Amino acid sequence: MTRLEMGLGRGQGEGEVMAAGESGIHLCVFDLDHTLVRSDLDLDRMKRDVASHLRRRGVGLAMGEPLPPIAELLRAAEVHDGRHGSRVAAEVWQIVAEHERRALAAAREEPGARETLGALRARGCWVAVWTNNASATAAEALARAGLAGLVDVLVGRDDAGALKPAPDGFKVILDRLAAVAGCRHARRAGAVAARCHGDAGVARKRATERAIVIGDSWIDGAAASAAGVRFVAFRTPASIFAARGVPVWRRVEHLAEVLHLPGMPAGSRCG
């Protein structure tokens, strides 16, 4: 069990355990593009390019807008490949990777990202990034934006098993935090150590209750909801999420507002 699952932030003492039922925030999971990093990645154009390629290759798609998420377009390609022995899905990934590569050149920090991540870590929160981008591309974007050293865990599409809006990536985040901050950091006696040997399902539920996901897209919110995690919408109008039936816990216009959300560990206020 991780310190997160035991209710311990990165800076808390080993004997400090949150009371049962308390739901303070100890894990902040951020989307990448248009949330932590500004880039020229145009997801709508990417989807149009992918859809056009699928139609040229004979993959049946419903006409009209809005186009479905990349994950659904990819599934259509995979079904086609299964029936015809083709490699359309691999071609789709090449199109996606090219869009990401072009956008990477202009990657830059979202205003306030560095200060917000630094403040979260100083308060004892774990910071993760969960993106549908390739992990290597995401890591380079974070480095270009000067944020790489402020992220504890990065989970990209090649790590998650399934793209958002599937919740798979959140489980990977918890698993990786377990490797980063396992029970070796807790004392081996008393209540804290006893929790290391408790029910893993209960521990994961506790960690989930103490997490939030911050993102700009409805697929971020849908993935958070599927994982049972509270979702914080970044800038996108609430009506976009409502139209998709995606629950939103809070909405912020600026990243620094994350520091003042209910349940956030106390610290000096920013801004």
Q: Mean pLDDT check: name the lowest of 4-8, 94-98, 248-252.
A: 4-8
Q: Which residue has the tokens 């990243």?
A: 255
Look at residue 71 and tell me whether its pLDDT is greater than 50. yes
Question: What CA–CA distances, in Å, run from 206 to 22, 34, 94?
Answer: 9, 29, 39
pLDDT tens for 74-124 read 989 999 999 999 999 999 989 988 988 888 878 899 999 999 999 999 999
pTM of the model: 0.77
213 closest CA partner among 118, 121, 127:
127
Look at residue 169 and tell me whether its pLDDT is greater than 50. yes
Look at residue 270 and tell me whether its pLDDT is greater than 90. no
pLDDT grade for 65, boundaries at 50, 70 and 90: low
Look at residue 231 and tell me whether its pLDDT is greater than 80. yes
Look at residue 196 and tell me whether its pLDDT is greater than 60. no
pLDDT for 191 = 35
What are the structural domains of the chain?
27-39+108-260 (3.40.50.1000), 43-104 (no CATH)
pLDDT for 53 = 94
